[in-house]
Amino acid sequence: MLSSPLSTSPANPSAREEISAPPTSTADDVLALKDEAASLPDQSSAVEERAGHEADAETAASTVCEQADHEPDGGLALDVEHVPVDDDPRQWPRARKIAVLATIAFTAMGGTISASVFFPALGSLQQELKANDALVAASVSSFIAGQGVFPLLWSSLSEVTGRKKCYIVALVIYVVGSVVCSRSSSIGVFIAMRVLQSLGSSAVLSLGAGTLADMYDTHERGEKLGVYYSVPLLGPALGPIVGGAVTSASDWRAAFYFLVAYGGVCWLLALWLPDTFRHQRSLAWRKAYERAQQQVREKRAKARSVLSKPTSTSAFSPLKKIGTALSAKSGDVKVKIRFRDINPMAAAGAVLREPANVLILTYSGLIFGSQYCMTYTASRTFAAPPYNCTPIKVGLVLLAFGIGNVVGSVGGGRYSDYVLRKMKERNGGKGEPEMRIKSTYPALAFLPPLFVAYAWTVYYKVHIAGPIVVLFFLGATLMIIYASTLAYIVDANPGRSSSAVACNSLFRGVLACAASQAAEPIMARVGHGAFYSGWGVLLLLGEAALVIVAIKGKIWRAASQTRREGEDERRRQRREKRLHSLETQK
């Protein structure tokens, strides 16, 4: 879909832009008028000349304002994702886009490895820091909760600074948190630094999808989002393997030394990373631009108000009136991003006002909560009899789940793009975000039974090959669904994809934190079978919500669009009323 360009939009993506219209011929007339008046040798003749020029000046100034009214306001394109920009990331060479994708995927994996890298050494950490089970669990849950909450902050900051600066600052924070964690001598400091780690690692997890949305159009995002998320999904499986290897050679602090090195490498890569953010495609910038345009209109109205006053009572000479009118036409339009434009709570509120978003985000949170709960409890499940796995073997068992995640994420993303393409062809070339959800129907049928299968193979202590096979297919099925729901979240929220993905991280983090805290007490009471069967029931209910979105989502989005248009119209009427008041002011 084509859209009108921003007629006055600059290409440089900064938070404050100055946009100037070219000077007009009226300005030359004013200068000529001054020269002509100065060259008159006879005083009386000059007075007569000036009387005639006053009438001409009034006419000239009025003409300037009339011309300004007929100038385009640089109206903002409705299709914000396709506003023309300089150095459009979607036009970058394929190799450059793949390099950016690989960089953010590799960096994002650091955040997921950090969650579980010290699991093999929980015993020695607990003993050395003199912590009880509750505090050790808090060090895990606080990290996951932080990764859920902090993305809202990063998504808002990226609307001002761009994505690259956020990545660089966040990785510095991550490295500092990792260094202090490695040298902690008390559980309190350790937990606080885990929160700092989560602040640093959450930026790429929330902004990565926005970076991909900057580079790839709707029809190719499913596959690319699948590839992007497939790499971090290996983190929960690789974490225990890496942690077990480094801690077996030293102690639990070695795991954090590894994270320091990993973070340093990611920081160096971030320095190279080109920024994909373009402010013209940001809803926050659009709001600021509309406000700046309103200020220009008000300046024009004030100019008319001055021109309408009699010369004898006005403090402005005719020449100054022309200057005032010219400033209303060709003066600078300063676009300033204010806090209210990037307020993370307001951004989240705008996303959560949409019922389809709420249902999708809740289901996405349930998927991640179940997945994290499974990897968190697996270290105890497979370390206990009859499996008696070492930490490294536990990691290898979970690697089956991680490989399934990769297969499901990449394959599911490609399948989602394929379904979207076919359904667009049947719909006259027009695609809808809900088409993404319909690609998940086959996987939805298998997900609850696979959870039940895992629950009872572990409960009855079936040979370890049984749970490993189930984990692989469970990981693939989860990610086929998750890749499509994430693509829906991005596609259904144009211009605010980072905020939508940040809300997704919030729901994931909160539900995963709650699940990790509740898992051990519930499993101790009801056992593996009932616990994971319960997860299967919860996900079945979530699937019903997903189907409702697939059916009703388009209607809800249309109703929301109508509501927003009504709000825009009321704002426009208020602006016009204010302009009218300024124009009639005497």
Distance CA 563, CA 264 (A): 47
Distance CA 201, CA 197 (A): 6
Residue spans per domain, the chain: 22-57, 92-280+346-565
| pLDDT on residue 452 | 93
Distance CA 400, CA 393 (A): 11
Distance CA 288, CA 269 (A): 32
Res. 73: pLDDT tops 60: no
* Tokens coding 224: 């690319």
Res. 7: pLDDT tops 70: no
User: What are the residue ranges of helices labelled H in 273-354?
Assistant: 283-307, 318-330, 339-342, 344-352
* Mean pLDDT, residues 96-113 taken together: 92
Q: 282, exposed or middle or buried, with CB in 10 Å at 0-12, 13-18, 19+?
A: buried
Res. 382: pLDDT tops 70: yes
In this structure, of 120-129, 227-236, 277-286, 371-380, the range with the lowest mean pLDDT score is 277-286
| pLDDT on residue 340 | 60
* Mean pLDDT, residues 235-240 taken together: 78
* Mean pLDDT, residues 514-529 taken together: 84
The DSSP bridge pattern shows strands 333-336 and 16-19 to be antiparallel
Sign of CA dihedral 390, 396, 397, 398: positive
Candidates 3.40.50.300, 3.30.429.10, 1.20.1250.20, 1.10.3720.10; correct CATH number of 92-280+346-565? 1.20.1250.20
* Tokens coding 72: 């385009």
Preceding omega of 386 cis (within 30 degrees of 0): yes
Q: Which position has the higher pLDDT, 207 or 121?
A: 207
For 16, the 3-state DSSP assignment is: strand
* Tokens coding 129: 């820091």
Distance CA 212, CA 409 (A): 15
pLDDT in tens, 343-358: 667 777 888 888 999 9
Enumerate long-range contacts of 189-197, CB under 8 Å, 24 or more apart: 190/125, 190/129, 190/139, 191/135, 191/138, 191/139, 191/142, 194/139, 194/142, 194/143, 194/146, 195/142, 195/143, 195/146, 197/114, 197/143, 197/146, 197/259
Distance CA 405, CA 412 (A): 10
What is residue 231's DSSP assignment? T
| pLDDT on residue 55 | 44
CB 323 within 8 A of CB 294: no
Categorize the per-residue pLDDT at 302 as very low, low, confident or very high, splitting at 50, 70 and 90. Answer: low
In this structure, of 366-380, 428-442, 520-534, the range with the lowest mean pLDDT score is 366-380
